Structure formats: C-alpha cells, structure tokens
Chain A
Amino acid sequence: MQLKNPKQLATLQKKYKAAEERFPKKVLICCGPGCLASGAQKISDKFKQVLKDKRIKGFSVEALKETGCHGFCEQGPLVIIEPDGTFYTRVKTKDVEEIIEMSVRKGETIDRLLYSPNGDGQRIQRYHDIDFYRHQDRIALANLGKISQCNIEEYIALGGYQALAKVISSMKPDQIIDEITESGLRGRGGAGFAAGRKWATCRKIESDVRYVICNGDEGDPGAFMDRAIMEGDPHAILEGMVIAAFAVGSSQGYIYVREEYPLAVVNLQKAIEQAEEMGLLGDNILGSDFSFKIRISRGAGAFVCGESSALMKSVAGEVGEPRAKYIRSVVKGLHDQPTVLNNVETLATVPVIINKGADWFKKIGTKKNTGTKAFSLVGKVRNTGLIEVAMGTTLRKIIYDIGGGIIDDRPFKAVQTGGPSGGCLPESQLDLPVDFDSLTEAGSMMGSGGMIVMDDKTCMVDVARYFLGFLVNESCGKCVPCREGLYQLHALTVRVCEGRATEADLEKMEKLSNQVIIGSLCGLGKSGPNPLLSTMKYFREEYLAHIRDKRCPAGVCRELITYEINDKCTGCMACIAVCATHAITGKKGEIHVLNQAKCTKCGACYAVCKHDSVVVS
C-alpha cells in the first residue's frame, strides 16, 4: 500500500498499534549477533514448534518476536517476557517448554533462569532493575530488543516514520538543519564533526546532484554498535537518511555496509523494499514531490574504507584509497558531487531529535557533547555487551556500574577506546567524562565506540604491538609515512616485546610516531601511532621493564617469560594432556616436570591449570 499523505500514516499507526495491543503478553527473543552465536535461532524455532500445537489464552505465535540486539550479550541467549520485562538469561532449548508453560501460560517466574549479578543466588527479575540497564540512556538503540528485526509494522506502531511525516508536512529544509544544528548532534563515527554544519554546507553548494551516504563500515576490532542497529532497527537509519536527504536536497543515497555483516545487508535490503512499498522511500515520498532512493553498497571489509574519501571511492567502484581532503567531501565527494556522509548511529538519532526537539536532546549529555553514545563494552569486564550512555558519563561508571567491574575482581589496568586509532587510558583517567573532547585531550579518542577493558594480565606493549600490526595490514598502502612508518613502528614494538630494544629505540619510536602523524595522508595514518603513544605515555615503566630488565611484568611477551611448575601441583595431568610438544612429564598424583628446552611457551598449561601451580616468571 502506497501512503499518499502523512495523515494516512497516522491512521496506519493506530491500526498497527491496535494490532500490537491484541496480545498483552509478548515473548522477545534476542537475535543479535551475540545471542545468535550462542544458539538464539534454535530457541526461537523451538518456541515456534511448541506454540504450533498449543492454545494459550491471550497469546499466539504472533506475539513471539525475534528482536535485534538487546545489549547484554554476556548473558545470552536472552528471552524477555513483556509487559513486565522478566529477563531470562542463558536460555537453552530445553528451557523453552517450561517458559511457555510457567511464564506465558501461568504468569509465573522461573527463578533458575533469572539474572544473578553476583552468582550468590540473589536474582533480579526485571531487566530494568539490573545495573547493566539501569545506568543507560537509550536513544539510538531505543528500539533494539523491542521490535522484531526489520518489521516495518512494529516500527510504525512505535511511532516510526512520524519524524519523516513531520518534516514533509510542516518543515522547510533550513528548519530541519537549524533543528539539528541547535541539538548539537555531533557525528558518531569518530571525529565528532557537527552534523548540522555538515548538512548546511552541503545544502549551500550549487549542484544538481547531492548524495547522502550512511557509513556502516564498522571496522574497529571489538565494535558492533552499528551492526546491531543495521540488523535490528534498519528503519531508523532509513528514516534518518530520508530526513537528511530532504534537508540537503538529495535524491540518491547509499548505505555502505561491509560484506562481513551478511544479516545487516539482508535486513537493510528488506527494510528498503518495505519502505518503498509503503511510499516512505522512493518516488513521491508520502505523496509529496520529494523523491529519494537508497541503494546498498557492499564493501569487502577494508578498515580504511571507513574513511570518508576511501569509502566514496569504493562506492564508485574504484580502489578504496583515501585522497587528500583539502577540498572536503561534503563539497566534492562521491562522483565529485557534494556528499553528506553520516555514521549509522548519527542517522538513527536524527528522527528522535526531530520528534522530541533539539531542546530535549540538548538536556542529555554535556554542553558541547549533547545526547548519548553507544559503546560496545568488551574485554575483561563482567558484563560485556552493547550499551548507550549519556555523553559525559565517566569511564568508572561505565566500567564498574554498567560493566560490573573486572572479571574475578582483578585489578583494572587500562581501557582502550576508539579502536586501533584510539588509545589506552590508565586507572588515573577513570574519572574522565566520556566525550569527544575529553578523550582526545587524554590522548585517546571516541572513535566509533569500541571500549576494551584490560586487567593486570594484559601487557601494554603487547597491546600496542597488536594494534600496530592490525594497522600495518589495514593501511591502504598509498602514502609512505603510513605504509612504511607504521611498519617500522610495529617492528620496533616487536623488538621491545622480544627484549631486544634499547632506550634509544623508545626515543626513535616517539619521533617516528610524530612524523607519521604529520606526514600521513588520511586519518588512519594520522591516528595510527595513538595506541603506541598513549601506552608509552601512561605505561612507560612497562616499556622500560621490557628494555632494561628484559622482563614482561604482565607475563605475556613470550620471549621474556618462562613457565614453571611449582610444588602446588597435584599431579592431575591436565597440563600434560594439552601440551602439544610433550614438554611436561609426570605421573598421576606426582608433581609434574616442565622441560624448558621443549617448551614453546604457548601458555596452554597455564590456562588449563586449576591449582595455580603453573606460574609465569
């Protein structure tokens, strides 16, 4: 059905809302990437199979929803019973029948499946009461975990496309741009450029053709915010893009998404078709004379293609190499035409700002960093998952209140923000408010929102080596400072890890880092040495321990450690079973012996020993 005017959309919303309200009770199964990996699809299939031959008053299979990522990936697969928000964690297929009988039919709670924060038997029933959710503010991720993946009816029932209707029926392009500028929305992709200003610049340029591109090329290791939105709530992105296009006067848009996100590609494509069918996208949107089409452009997963100019080249079918941006891409972008490029999260936030107003949005966050930001909280933190907090929330609150602290109560060592281009911040920076400016000032960056927490078993030199290695492979290889400079920085860091470096090497690394920053062509090279510089700044003594004492304090760098078996050994033979080189010998019940000559320091014995008898020295 093609909607001819905004009024028809309002009628349709009422109809869909009524349809939603037919079933007061709903079962939501999280089908985000984390839960899918731990078997959510099987659980959903089991639900459908069991419900097929069951009749339950006030419930049907229609009230079963496969939603986008709910966020608490650590506890997946998640099943939520609405309206009260009963939160079942680590659900298995064998629990399904019980959930249907007890919770759906009788309205009782299954204690066993509830979340237990400390593992001490105390259980929390509703997800709203769990610390992980309690401290969050959700705007971009608001619909995730609430509606079925790419279901336009549910999206409309929740008030979806109302912002678009408002824009088409009662706002002029300049008003939209003013509203976005007033809201202070900054690009969520990393650099934090004011979205309103970008749109205004694009609109002012005289051109027949303008493009709107959504950057879904999320490439940071450990980041999955954009993926979750693209998979779970694609219509929010489409709505944001249509509003952006209306504001800048564009008729063609692209979503650049990496092929490694197959579900995102499928769901976005489905969403585009659904929206086109309803007249919310395509020719004469909502009966107006405004037309806008969106095509999906699939990338091959090159990290550098997240950089605007490389992305645009890739969309145009060329090699994804950045160009110098002395003329910005908003002036001369895709096919040399003015182009607005916004991140997934930025675009998903736009409809909410239009609906609720800039003043409402400004109240969240800090003065120069308004609104919220989504992060993927990963690493050695208890509650890993997808979160969204108000800007200016401190790292401590994110890691300890939402994240629940470090696994096994080990000491916190560092948090890495901003992906490979970001930096590592130490404990002294834990009270740093998380926003674009504070993080940059501290030597890291916001990036797209990856947040990797590390404990005392992490070697910071090794971390720098890892990220530099990533960048050496992911640099496009066009300009010399990035291609050769990062390669040499990586080689020097490897020297430190292997205990072959001198203090003069440290100076050399610092100097070369600064040259790479000045000399590189694009943002990848210009921020590439950040992991090295920030770890050298905050963890210098660890570098010196590697250099002076030939010692890795965290016990990670292979060349500098030896594994030993002490007299706590119970002779359980577990380490003997995993040792690939047969370096460990011994009989059951007797203390085992490790032959250093045969040991490759793979760490398998260390990982498997339950008696703390394999030690690193």
Chain B
Amino acid sequence: MVNLTINGKVVQAEEGEVLLSVIRREKIDVPALCHHEAVEAFGACRLCVVEITRQEWDGWCDYVTSCLYPASDGLIVNTHAAKVNDLRKTIVDLFLARHPKCPEIIELAAEYGVYSTTYQTVVDGDNCILCGLCTRICDRMGFHAISTVGRGHGKEVSPPLHKAPPDCTGCLACAQNCPTSFIEYSAAKGFLTIWDKKFELLKCSGCGKETITKVFAEHLCQERKIPFEYFQICDECHRKQLAATMGEITSWDREAAS
C-alpha cells in the first residue's frame, strides 16, 4: 500500500493502482468519457486529467490522465486545480464544436458553463466522440470486427473496408456501451441488423420472445462450451424454469427429511 494526497487528504492506494480508481473511491467527481472498467484504459478523452506534484519537485507540476497514471508513495494530486479546470473546459468546448447536436456533450458542456462553443462548429459533425469504447470492447469480446480507421480529424469507427464485418456476431456489445448511442441497430421480424449486417435472431421456445443472434449463440457454444439448448429459451423463461426446478428440489428435500 502507498500513501498519497488527493485534494489535501491523505489516502491509501495499492501500488500501481491508477489514480482514477483511487479518486472515484474517494467519491470525487472527475469526468471521463473513454473509460470503462471492462477494458484497458485508453487516455483519449483527456477529461480525467489531474495535476500532480511531489514534495521534491520543488513546485513543478505535471498534468496527467488519471485513468492511466499509477499511484505511488508521496504523490500529491489535485483533481480541480485552476489549470486542470481550464483544460477540461477547453476540451468540452472542443467536443461541443465537433459534436454540436450530441445531447451527452451538450449536457457535459453545460456543467462547465459552456453553452455554445467558442470555436468553429464542425459542419456535419456527428455524435461519435471517438472514445474507442466500441472497438476496445469488441476486441475484448474477441471478435475484432470493427476498428478505428483513418487518421486525424477524419478518423472514424468502421468495419473493414466499410463493408458488413465478417467477424461481427451481432452481440451488440459495441452499441450497448456507446456513451452517445451513436451505433445504430434494429431488430424486427426475427432479424437484427447492425453494421449493415443482417443476423437471424433466436426465438425463445417458451414465450416466443426474440433473444440473441444465432451466430453469437453458436460462438458462445463453441468458445465457452455452453450447450446450444441453453439459448433456446430466454432469460426470463430460464428463471421461471429454475424456480420451478428449485421447488422440486425443495419438495424432494422435504420428502427425504420426513
């Protein structure tokens, strides 16, 4: 364990634990758009920036992203130093210029007192904030179906060659974790469409509700050694079935006891 100071308070942390995790444990509000506990820290949005210094640095400060910077003994952290607040404000301002119609960004900017951007609004700026969560989660799922493509201002999230991704299983992890709900998908009449790829949906044999895609179920069967029958009923029906079986076990227990 190491001791460090956050906003004047001495706190304990695991050696090497990232600052953001310590800060969140201390219930200090530091924004972060590209952070997700399920995947490796990325350091792209730069909103979680904090000021750090040490006694021996003699007043010199550095500005680091707390989602990546490891805690160490004697570190002095200021999560809301004037320069940090200034930088965060500039970043949300830049975000607002790029994504003028994105509700999440508009709300965040308002928190920092930015109601209209001071910069040049990007014409046809969409709602993808390029946090890279979708691509990282897709990689984590083991599919690598989508990636960021291109460089600089023209960078975007896309399947290979902008065509329906061959490796996508329609698991929806990307869309459901997109902080701005930018990734579109639709489910209708037994089919799910995402990234221009159409998937057949499984139907619950119990209630007839549509569940996950057949391709994703097959993938799970193969990779996680789950029997295919498991996916033939929906979660709700599973619970009902389980409850019923548990009842049987209880009654069997009672019989055994008597």
Contact = CB atoms under 8 A, between A and B. Distances in A.
Interface of A: 302, 304, 319, 321, 323-324, 326-327, 471-481, 483-485, 487-488, 491-492, 508, 511-512, 515, 518-521
Chain B interface SS verdict (over half): mixed
Given A472-B153, A492-B120, 11 more contacts: A319-B148, A326-B68, A471-B152, A473-B152, A475-B152, A477-B130, A477-B154, A479-B45, A481-B94, A484-B94, A488-B119
Contacts of A471: 152
A515 B87 CA distance: 6
Given A483-B130, A491-B119, A302 B151 contact: yes
B167 to A, nearest CB: 16
B95 interface: yes
A162 B132 CA distance: 50
Interface residues of B, number: 35
28 contacts: A302-B151, A319-B147, A319-B148, A326-B68, A326-B69, A474-B152, A475-B153, A476-B151, A476-B155, A477-B148, A478-B44, A479-B43, A479-B44, A479-B46, A480-B44, A480-B46, A483-B130, A483-B152, A484-B97, A487-B122, A487-B153, A488-B97, A491-B119, A512-B90, A515-B91, A518-B63, A519-B49, A519-B87
B150 A484 contact: no
A324 B65 contact: yes
A521 B46 contact: yes
Interface string B100-119: 00000000000000000011
A473 B151 contact: yes
Contacts of B118: 508
Nearest to B91: A480
Nearest to B155: A477
B98 interface: yes
B45 to A, nearest CB: 6
Nearest to A481: B46
B57 to A, nearest CB: 15
Contact of A485 (B68, B69, B94, B132): B94
B197 interface: no
Contacts of B68: 324, 326
Nearest to A484: B94
Contacts of A491: 119-120
**Quick one: which of A480, A487, A492 has the most chain B CB within 10 A?**
A480
A480 B132 contact: no
**Quick one: which of A304, A471, A485 has the most chain B CB within 10 A?**
A485
B199 to A, nearest CB: 26
Interface in B68-112: 68-70, 83, 86-87, 90-91, 94-95, 97-98
Contacts of B204: none
A479 B94 CA distance: 11
B65 A476 contact: no
B91 A478 contact: no
